[in-house]
C-alpha cells in the first residue's frame, strides 16, 4: 500500500444518460470518442494521469492543484470551440470536480476520502462548470486561476461541511485580474462577444502549440493530435505488457525506442521519456554484460528483435488507423460547414417569407 497527497479530478458528460437513450450505438461511440479526444491530450499536456475511465467519466490525478484547474479551463474552452459549428443535438457539455488530499494507491487505482469528496462535489456542478474544494483553494496559485466561493456544502457520506469554490466564467466577471490574463486580454478584446471563450482561453493558449509540436490552427487538428497520441500510447502499452509476461522486463526501453523509430511520431515522447528510457538502457547493458551463457545472450538479443518487429507492425497498423481518422475528421468538418450554410439559407428564406406575407396584408 502506498500513500500520497494528490489532486483528484472527476470529469463527466452532462446528461449522458438522457443522450444515450436518444442515440444509436454508432452515435454514442462517436460521442465518447470526442470526449476522450478532448480530455486525454489535455491531461497529458498538464502533467496529469488518467486513473480509469468510468464510461462517461474519467478519474484523473495531478501533482499540482493549479495544473488541474488550468487543465479543466482548457478543456472547457476547447469544447466550446468544437461545439460552435455543430448542430445542437451533436453538442455536449462536461463538468469538473476537483479535490486534494491523501489517497491510498493500490494496483493503479486511488482510494480515500479525498476521492469520495471529489465525487460528491461533481454532483453539485452544472454543465460547463468547474467546482473545487477548499483544500484545492488553499494549495493553488491564486495569481493563475480565477475563483469565487460557492459556500459550505453538506455532502452525502461526509461528516463535516465542505466549503466549495468555482472558477467563474469570463462572461460573469467581465475580465480576469490575473497575471496569466495579461497575454490574452488583447486577443479577447478584439473578438466579437458571441465568440469569446467561456474561460477566456487563458489555459488553452498555454498548450495550443504543444500537442502536435507545431501551431494547431483548427479544432480538427487538435482532436487528430490527441487521437494519434492515444493510438500510439495504446499500441506501446500492449507490447510493453507482453514483454513483462515473458520475463524480459528490463528490455522494455528497446521496445519503446524501436516503436518511436518506426512510427516517426513526435506525439508521445518528451525529453523526460527519453531520459528515463536511456537510463534503463544503461542498466540493461550492465545486465547484458553479466550474462555468462552465450545461449542466454542470444535469447535476449532475439527477444529485443522480436519486440522491435512487434512495435513496427503495431505502428504500421496505427498509422493506417490515423489516416482513416484524418479522413473522417475532414469529412466531419465539411458536413458541419454544409450544415451551417444550410441553416443560414433556411433563416434567410424564412425572413423573405415573412416579408412577402407582410406585403400581402399591407401592400402599401
C-alpha cell at 142: 491564486
Residue 230: pLDDT over 60 = no
Residue 96: pLDDT band with limits 50, 70, 90: very high
Residue 342: pLDDT over 50 = yes
Q: How far apart, in Å, are the Cα atoms of 218 and each of 4, 78, 101, 208? A: 38, 10, 37, 10
Range scoring the smallest mean pLDDT among 215-219, 224-228, 336-340: 215-219
Residue 231: pLDDT over 60 = no
The reply to whether the predicted model has a pTM over 0.85 is: no
Residue predicted with more confidence, 40 or 317? 40
Note the pLDDT tens digit of each residue in 129-140.
999 999 999 999
133 forms bridges with which residues in the sheet? Answer: 164
The contacts of residue 183 (CB under 8 Å, 6+ apart) are 205
Contact by Cβ (8 Å): 203, 74: yes
Residue 221: pLDDT over 50 = no
Query: What mean pLDDT comes out for the span 231-254?
Result: 47
**Residue 263: predicted pLDDT:** 44
The contacts of residue 115 (CB under 8 Å, 6+ apart) are 8, 59, 99, 103
Neighbours of 171 (CB within 10 A): 12
Residue 307: pLDDT band with limits 50, 70, 90: low
**Residue 249: predicted pLDDT:** 47
Q: In terms of Cα–Cα distance, which of 127, 158, 139 is closest to 8?
A: 139
C-alpha cell at 54: 468510468
**Residue 295: predicted pLDDT:** 63
Give the Cα separation of 130 and 122 in Å (integer).
Answer: 9
**Residue 182: predicted pLDDT:** 55
The contacts of residue 48 (CB under 8 Å, 6+ apart) are 9, 60, 61, 62, 67, 68, 71
Half-sphere exposure of 195 (CA within 13 A, CB side): 7
Q: What is the DSSP string of 97-158?
A: EEEEEEEEEETTEEESHHHHHHHHHHTTPPTT-EEEEHHHHHHS-TTTS--EEEEEE--TT-
Where do the H-state alpha helices sit in the chain?
Answer: 16-22, 25-45, 65-83, 113-122, 134-139, 170-173, 182-190, 204-207, 219-245, 252-263, 271-290, 294-361
**With b meaning 16 or more CB within 10 Å and e meaning fewer, what string describes 199-229?**
bbbbbbbbbbeebbeeebeebbbbbbbbbbb
Residue predicted with more confidence, 61 or 267? 61
Angle (deg, nearest 10), helices 219-245 and 25-45: 80
Contact by Cβ (8 Å): 10, 118: yes
Note the pLDDT tens digit of each residue in 39-78.
999 999 999 999 998 888 999 999 999 999 999 999 999 9
Query: What mean pLDDT comes out for the span 328-346?
Result: 82
Residue 35: pLDDT band with limits 50, 70, 90: very high
Residue 247: pLDDT over 80 = no
Residue 21: pLDDT over 70 = yes
Residue 255: pLDDT band with limits 50, 70, 90: low
Residue 27: pLDDT over 80 = yes
**Residue 299: predicted pLDDT:** 67
With pLDDT > 90 as the criterion, what percentage of the chain qualifies? 31
Query: What mean pLDDT comes out for the span 230-254?
Result: 47
**Residue 138: predicted pLDDT:** 95
The contacts of residue 266 (CB under 8 Å, 6+ apart) are 212, 213
How does strand 162-166 pair with strand 2-13?
Answer: unpaired
**Mean per-residue pLDDT over the chain, rounded:** 76
Range scoring the smallest mean pLDDT among 151-155, 200-204, 261-265: 261-265
- Would you call 202 helix, strand, or coil by DSSP? coil
Residue 189: pLDDT over 50 = no
Q: Which class for 42: exposed (0-12), middle (13-18), buried (19 or more C-beta within 10 A)? A: buried
Residue 234: pLDDT over 70 = no
**Residue 107: predicted pLDDT:** 85
**Residue 262: predicted pLDDT:** 45
Q: What structural domains and CATH numbers belong to the chain? A: 2-208 (3.30.70.1230), 212-364 (no CATH)
Amino acid at each position: 500500500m502506498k500513500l500520497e497527497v494528490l489532486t483528484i479530478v472527476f470529469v463527466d458528460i452532462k446528461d449522458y444518460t438522457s443522450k444515450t437513450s436518444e442515440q444509436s450505438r454508432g452515435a454514442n461511440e462517436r460521442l465518447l470518442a470526442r470526449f476522450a479526444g478532448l480530455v486525454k491530450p489535455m491531461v497529458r499536456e498538464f502533467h496529469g494521469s488518467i486513473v480509469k475511465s468510468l464510461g462517461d467519466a474519467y478519474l484523473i490525478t495531478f501533482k499540482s492543484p493549479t495544473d488541474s484547474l488550468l487543465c479543466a479551463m482548457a478543456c472547457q474552452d476547447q469544447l466550446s470551440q468544437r461545439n460552435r459549428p455543430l448542430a445542437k443535438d451533436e453538442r455536449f457539455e462536461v463538468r469538473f470536480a476537483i479535490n486534494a488530499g491523501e489517497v491510498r494507491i493500490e494496483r493503479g487505482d486511488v482510494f480515500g476520502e479525498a476521492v469520495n469528496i471529489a465525487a460528491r462535489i461533481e454532483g453539485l456542478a452544472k454543465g460547463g462548470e468547474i467546482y473545487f474544494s477548499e483544500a484545492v483553494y488553499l494549495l493553488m496559485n491564486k495569481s493563475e486561476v480565477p475563483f469565487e466561493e460557492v459556500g459550505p456544502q453538506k455532502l452525502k457520506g461526509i461528516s463535516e461541511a465542505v466549503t466549495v469554490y468555482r472558477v467563474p466564467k469570463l462572461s460573469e466577471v467581465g475580465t480576469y485580474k490575473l497575471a496569466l490574463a495579461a497575454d490574452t486580454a488583447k486577443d479577447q478584446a478584439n473578438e466579437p462577444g458571441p465568440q469569446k471563450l467561456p474561460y477566456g482561453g487563458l489555459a488553452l493558449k498555454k498548450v495550443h502549440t504543444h500537442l502536435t509540436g507545431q501551431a494547431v490552427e483548427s479544432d480538427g487538428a487538435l482532436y487528430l493530435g490527441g487521437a494519434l497520441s492515444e493510438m500510439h500510447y495504446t499500441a506501446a502499452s500492449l507490447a510493453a505488457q507482453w514483454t513483462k509476461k515473458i520475463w524480459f522486463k528490463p528490455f522494455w526501453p528497446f521496445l519503446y525506442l524501436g516503436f518511436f523509430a518506426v512510427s516517426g511520431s513526435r506525439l508521445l515522447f518528451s525529453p523526460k521519456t527519453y531520459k528515463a528510457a536511456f537510463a534503463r538502457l544503461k542498466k540493461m547493458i550492465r545486465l547484458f554484460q553479466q550474462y555468462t551463457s552465450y545461449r542466454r545472450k542470444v535469447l535476449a538479443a532475439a527477444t529485443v528483435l522480436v519486440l522491435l518487429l512487434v512495435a513496427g507492425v503495431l505502428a504500421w497498423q496505427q498509422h493506417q488507423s490515423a489516416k482513416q481518422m484524418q479522413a473522417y475528421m475532414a469529412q466531419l468538418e465539411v458536413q458541419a460547414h454544409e450544415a451551417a450554410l444550410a441553416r443560414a439559407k433556411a433563416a434567410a428564406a424564412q425572413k423573405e417569407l415573412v416579408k412577402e406575407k407582410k406585403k400581402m396584408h399591407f401592400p402599401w
